[in-house]
Copies of this chain bind each other. A is one copy, B any other.
Amino acid sequence: MKVTPWEVEGNIDYDRLIKEFGVSPISEKIRSRLKDTHPLLRRGIYFSHRDFDKWLNNHDNKKNVSVITGRGPSEKMHLGHLVPFLVAKSLQDNFNCNVYIPISDDEKFYVKENLSFEDAIEYSRDNILDLIALGFKPKKTFIFEDFIYTKVYSYAGRIAKRITYSTAKAAFGLKNENNVGWSFYPAMQAAHILFPQFNEGKHISVVPVGIDQDPFIRLTRDIAMHKDFGFEKPAALHAKFIPSLYGDPKMSSSKEGSIFLSDSKKEVENKIKKYAFSGGGATINEHREKGGNPDIDVSYQYLKMFFEPDDNKLKKIYDDYKSGKLLTSEIKDILIEKINKFLEEHRKNKEKAKDKMKDFILKD
């Protein structure tokens, strides 16, 4: 098993990660406070945290709390990219808190040698529409791009002073041949995580994030305590990896292994039928006889994580698949229909988002 911000390999042992990273499991007590939230939160895909109990307590005690989760814009977003945003929206819906969404057009620009400045900006705009389409609340949701809302540079500068190149090099795997934008980016990322406090003053802000990204949270928690700032340590909610259609531990941006928000109905159908890793029997007869394994079946996992919010319906699918009553082709059909319904709705919302943009984008 290898889990760093750049590499995820092998069979992931999440209990071991909890120990190694020094984070806390999401307890039953916490989970009981998340009953009405998105499946990703209440079904254990988010499995560990830092100080999220404090965040919940502060909310209950009428103290200000917020959510911050950023996006390094890419050409097209896929389902896996939505994970932290679905959680952020759910926290906003359930706890009525502000959500901050920094768009790190600079990060992608620095890291991708051939990405032009103009394309970086264009991808940002496209991704922002995808995010607004999820239904965040205007006036409580603040989106900004590093290269447009450059005010963030002054916050990043204050943090940059407290991160040595050595520290950045170790935490971000910098090499001497990387460009200096990349060297600076650790400060920008920490500025994103602390942005809610720069903006609203000291309070606990939670970052929903893949567990592999936790080293950045830890770095930022240290910085938050520096006397220059006197901020609260940001809290974190850690997600397990979302499998690709092939069942790989982490969904990548490979064209076939992921469902893109721009995929047509036909593409979705083809991808699921052709690639979605099945936990079913080798033949129909074998499946009817021995049953399938929903725990490794990607279609079932996607229904559990994203597309079947009703616990009773999900349980029936689980039981029927396990018993062999529900075939692989049938569970795939259920998923295809659900995804296509979601994507159709999403594209309508994305179109509408164009007019709403001004309500979400931070301005000087």
- Residues of A whose CB lies within 8 Å of any CB of B are 106, 109-110, 116-117, 146-148, 150-154, 157-158, 160-166, 168-169, 174-184, 186-187, 228, 364
Contacts and interface: CB of A to CB of B under 8 A. Distances in A.
Given A165-B179, A181-B184, 4 more contacts: A109-B161, A160-B184, A165-B174, A180-B184
A16 to B, nearest CB: 32
A152 B146 CA distance: 12
B160 A180 contact: yes
Contacts of A180: 160, 163-165, 168, 183-184, 186-187
A20 B10 CA distance: 56
Copy tally for this chain in the complex stands at: 2
Given A110-B161, A147-B157, A177 B181 contact: no
Please indicate which of the listed interface residues A109, A152, A154, A157 has the most CB atoms of chain B within 10 Å of its own CB.
A157
B117 A160 contact: no
Contacts of A116: 228
Contacts of A177: 164-166
Given A181-B184, A187-B180, A154 B163 contact: no
A187 B178 contact: no
Contacts of A157: 106, 109-110, 117, 146-147, 181
Contacts of A174: 165
Nearest to A175: B165
A244 to B, nearest CB: 30
A216 to B, nearest CB: 14
A149 to B, nearest CB: 9
A109 B155 CA distance: 12
Contacts of A186: 180
21 contacts: A109-B158, A109-B161, A110-B160, A117-B157, A117-B158, A146-B153, A150-B153, A150-B154, A157-B181, A160-B179, A160-B184, A161-B181, A164-B177, A165-B165, A165-B182, A168-B183, A169-B176, A180-B184, A181-B184, A183-B184, A364-B364
**Closest 4 CB pairs between A and B?**
A160-B181, A184-B184, A150-B150, A153-B153
A336 to B, nearest CB: 41
A181 B190 CA distance: 13
B154 A183 contact: no
A165 B168 CA distance: 12
A328 to B, nearest CB: 47
Contacts of A151: 150
Contact of A165 (B146, B154, B183): B183
A143 B108 CA distance: 30
Given A184-B184, A364-B364, A179 B161 contact: yes
A117 B159 CA distance: 11
Contacts of A168: 180, 183
Contacts of A147: 153-154, 157
A245 B123 CA distance: 57
A162 B116 CA distance: 12
